[in-house]
Structure formats: C-alpha cells, structure tokens
Amino acid sequence: MNAESHDSRQFHVSAAERELRLRFIGFTETDAQLLHELEPVVKPHAERIVDAFYANVALHPVLLDIIERAGSTVERLKAKQRTYLLEMFGGDYGESYFARRLGIGVVHNRIGLGPQWFLGSYAGYTRMIVPLISRRYRWRPFKAERAIEAFNKIISLDSQLVIDTYVHGVTSELSGALSDYTAFVERVAAGQLDSRVALPANKELARLGLRLNEMTTSLSEMASRTGNASHRLTSMVTGLLDAVGVQSSGASQQAAAINETTSTLEEIRAISRQTQEKAETLGVTAERTRAEGERGAEIVDKTVHDMELVRAQVGDIAEKILALSEQTHQIGEITGTVNSLAQQLKMLSLNASIEAAKAGEAGKGFAVVAAEVKELAEQSQQATIQVNAILQDIRRATDKAVMATEEGSKGVDRGTQMVQMVGDAMQSLMEAIREAALSSQQIVAAVRQEGIGIDQIATAMREINNATRQAVDSTQQTKQSAEQLGALSSEMLDSVRIYRLES
C-alpha cells in the first residue's frame, strides 16, 4: 500500500480527548511551565543526546536496515530527532503537539519501526536528561523532583500517543486489508476468478493475501478443467444419446420384425398341423384302399378260378350234350350254379365299380373292367336263362343245344380273358395303391418332422423376442441414464459459467 493510504491512518484526537488524557496522567499547566523552563538546560546537550541515541541504534543492524529500507539516512534522522527532543520542552502541548506526535508514530509504523524500539529510546532520553535536571536544581530538590515528574509525564504522554498510533495503524491496516480481502472474496464469489488481491506491506497479511491469490488460481484452474470436462461430457452424452437412439430404433424395428416373423411362424405351424392331419387322413385312406385292392385282387383270382370251372363244365356239357336229355336234371343244377356265379360276378363287378370310384383316377381302368365284368355277368345270367330254355327244348333242338353249348364255351373263354385282364389291371392298381400308401406315409413323416422344426424355430424366435425386449428395455434405461448424465453436465456447465476465468 502507498504512503497516502498509510497517512490516512493517522487519527485525530479531539480537545476533550486531549484534556482527558492530560488529566489522567496528572499533567498540569505547572508541569508545562516546568518543562519549558528546562528547554535552556536541555538544548545545549541536544546534539550529544541525539548522537548517543543513534550510537545505540548503530549497535542494532535491524534498525539500520529499517532506516535504509525507508529511504532515509542516520544524518537526516538526527536533525528530525533533535527537533522532536526539543519539542518536549517547548511548553505548548495542545492540538499541534498531539498532531506532530501522532504523525511521527504513523511514519514509524509505516517504515516498520515497532513500538518496542521507539519506547526503548525513552529510556535513553531519561538516562541522559534526568541528570541534567538534577544538576540544574541541585540546591532545590523539591523543584528538581517536580521537574523530573513533569518530564516523566510528558514521556508517558508521548508513549501513549506512540502506542495509540501503532494500535490505530495496526487496526487500520487490518481493517484495510480485511476490507480489501472481503471485496476480493466477494469478487471471487461473484465469479471473477481472474481477480487478484494486492499484497499489503505487513508480512503476515501479505502471506494471507498470497495464499488467497494461490487459492483463487487453483479455483480458476479447477473451474476451467471442470468446464472443459463438462463440454467433453456433454459431447460424449450427445453421442451416446444418438447411438442409443439408433440402437433403440434398430431394436424396435427388430422387435417388430421378430413379432411379425413369430406370427407368420404361428400361421405356418397351424397350416403344417392341418397338412399333417390331412396327410395322416390320406395315409389311412391309402391303407384302406390298399386293403380293399388286395381283397379285390383275391376276388378276381377267385373269379378266374370260377371261370376255369365254368369252362370245364361247359366242356363237360359239350361232351355230354348227346346225353343231355338223360342229364337234364344235372344241367339244371349246373345252370343254377352258373346263374349263381353270374349273380356273384355281377355283385363283384358292382363292388369293383365302387372301389374304382373310390380310387379316383387310378381306378378308372378298373371301372371299365368292372363294367365289362358286369356285362359278362349279365351275359352269363342270360346264358343260363337260355340254357334253361334249351333244357326245356333240349329234346326238340339238340343241335341247337350243341351250338348253344359251343357259344357258351366261347363266351366262357372270352369271360376268362376279360377276368384275366381285370386281374392284370388290379395288379397294376395294387402297385399304384402300395406306392401311394408308401408316399402318404413318407408325407406324414415329413410333415411331422416339419412341424417339429417349426416348433423349434418358434421357440427360438420367442427366446429372441424376449432377448430383444430386454435389449429394448436396457436401451431405454441407458437412454434415461444418459439424459440424467446430460442434465448433470448442464448443471456443471451452468455452475462454471458464473466464473470469469483467466484468459
């Protein structure tokens, strides 16, 4: 702090305060007169007293250092010290005296000369001046005592003023430093981190100010780092939110696709089940058709066998036609048998037609054969009717009977051939039916395997769907955390923006 600010620390003592202090030490007009009477006694010795005073100062390097740092010299100070000494015996102890004494105290306080040194100088003055007073009034001991008492009173008054000046200086210095530090702290609290406090002359206060400046520098660096970290954190959170948004959108789309795929799989599984049911029904039908086909083949074989019997019987008729009249009864029985066979063949052909109709396209050929068999059965029946008629007229038309027998034999041959053809057709149909049954079984097995595979895929898709839902939930939680982190970053930036950092 400059000299002007130090000089402003000098305080004024009012007239009432001066009167109170003088009365407190018992200083009267008589004391003032006694001191003034001593001026001629002290003045001749003033140079010697001042020289002795500074000779003692020279013994203490710390005092010489204070004088040098104050920009003064011992010779210059001797003149001022002589004036100061003689003013103690000037006789005027009013306002101007107080002001000069307080001013000296301010200067001493400003250059760092503590009261211990200034008060110590009074002991030197007392040691050298009291003997002068004693010699002056050696024949008047009472007055000498009164003069020495007056000298001690003015020494006491000067000591009070020095102490008051020092205390007021220290208090003012502390008050000024406190005011400066308070204003500085308020500026820092307002965000002016580029502000610095001026360091006072007092070492302890300067050390405190230095620590305050260092603390503010550290706070400025911390705020700067916090701001930079907040900016980086904001950028990172923005990138994280963008990534989370993309991930959330992708996960939602994936979840929608998985749901659609799962629905499609459910439809496919339902269709597969229907297909399996139809395939199983087809297998049952094919198996039943195969069984019926085998039965039809057996019937055809039996029919062929019966036709062979008919052919043998017709042969017998041809051989025995001459004895027809004698064997009319047997022929009647045979024609009855033939008629019965024709009826059975007709029924077989009817059953074959029904089975052919059930076989669909594969049974069309068999239906034709069945129709032929039916026709042959009807012809056989008609033949038996004719045979019966012939039996009635056998005696009248033997020749005609022989011819009819021959025609019957030929019809039997044709019927046998037709039945053989039906048998061949039935064998082919049986092979087709067996293959169809085998294929239907394979279809059933394949559809079952397909259903198992679809079930496995559906299960896997459900697991994927659950995992996707968890991923979507996790993404939402991550987004919420990122938003909270972004809000925290914004709060950090807002808290840093109030500070004005160093450029």
Full 3-state SS string of 394-419: CCCCHHHHHHHHHHHHHHHHHHHHHH
Q: How confident is the model at residue 72 (pLDDT cuts 50, 70, 90)?
A: confident
pLDDT at 36: 96
Residues 403 and 387: their CA atoms lie apart, in Å, by 11
Please check the confidence at residue 22 and state whether its pLDDT lies above 90.
yes
Tokens, residue 436? 């169809």
Residues 423 and 298: their CA atoms lie apart, in Å, by 9
Fold topology of 251-487: Helix Hairpins (1.10.287)
* Least confident range of 35-49, 97-111, 287-301: 287-301
pLDDT at 242: 84
Strand partners, 192: 500
Tokens, residue 176? 């000024």
Residues 453 and 191: their CA atoms lie apart, in Å, by 71
Burial of 489 (C-beta count, 10 Å sphere; 0-12/13-18/19+): buried
pLDDT at 142: 95
Per residue in 447-501, pLDDT (tens digit) is 688 778 878 877 877 887 787 788 778 878 878 887 888 888 788 778 777 777 6
Cβ atoms 76, 24 nearer than 8 A: no
Residues 61 and 225: their CA atoms lie apart, in Å, by 50
Tokens 């559809």 sit on residue: 447
Q: Which residues of 354-386 are buried (b: 16+ CB within 10 A; e: fewer)?
A: ebbeebeebbebbbebbebbbebbebbbebbeb
Residues 425 and 270: their CA atoms lie apart, in Å, by 40
Q: How confident is the model at residue 318 (pLDDT cuts 50, 70, 90)?
A: low
The rounded mean pLDDT for the chain is 80
Share of the chain above pLDDT 70, in %: 86
Cβ atoms 489, 237 nearer than 8 A: yes
Q: Which residues of 52-64 are buried (b: 16+ CB within 10 A; e: fewer)?
A: ebbeebeeeeebe
- Residues of each domain in the chain carrying CATH 1.10.490.10: 3-189
Tokens, residue 235? 């950028």
What are the Cα distances from residue 346, in Å, to 298, 374, 386?
16, 5, 18
Q: How confident is the model at residue 2 (pLDDT cuts 50, 70, 90)?
A: very low
What number is the average pLDDT over the span 259-263?
76
pLDDT at 337: 87
Per residue in 271-313, pLDDT (tens digit) is 778 877 876 786 777 678 678 768 877 876 786 687 778 677 7
Query: Residues with Cβ < 8 Å from 428, sequence gap 6 or more?
Result: 365
Residues 303 and 311: their CA atoms lie apart, in Å, by 12
Per residue in 358-395, pLDDT (tens digit) is 888 888 787 888 788 788 878 877 888 887 787 687 56
Cβ atoms 283, 311 nearer than 8 A: no
Residue 159: in which H helix or E strand, if any?
helix 141-189
pLDDT at 4: 38
Please check the confidence at residue 207 and state whether its pLDDT lies above 60.
yes
pLDDT at 151: 94
Residues 60 and 295: their CA atoms lie apart, in Å, by 149
Query: Residues with Cβ < 8 Å from 395, sequence gap 6 or more?
Result: 325
Cβ atoms 98, 162 nearer than 8 A: no
Tokens, residue 191? 């965000």
Q: One-letter amino acid identity for 165? A: T
Superfamily of domain 3-189: Globins (1.10.490.10)
Per residue in 122-166, pLDDT (tens digit) is 888 899 999 999 999 999 999 999 999 999 999 999 888 888 887
DSSP state of 500: B
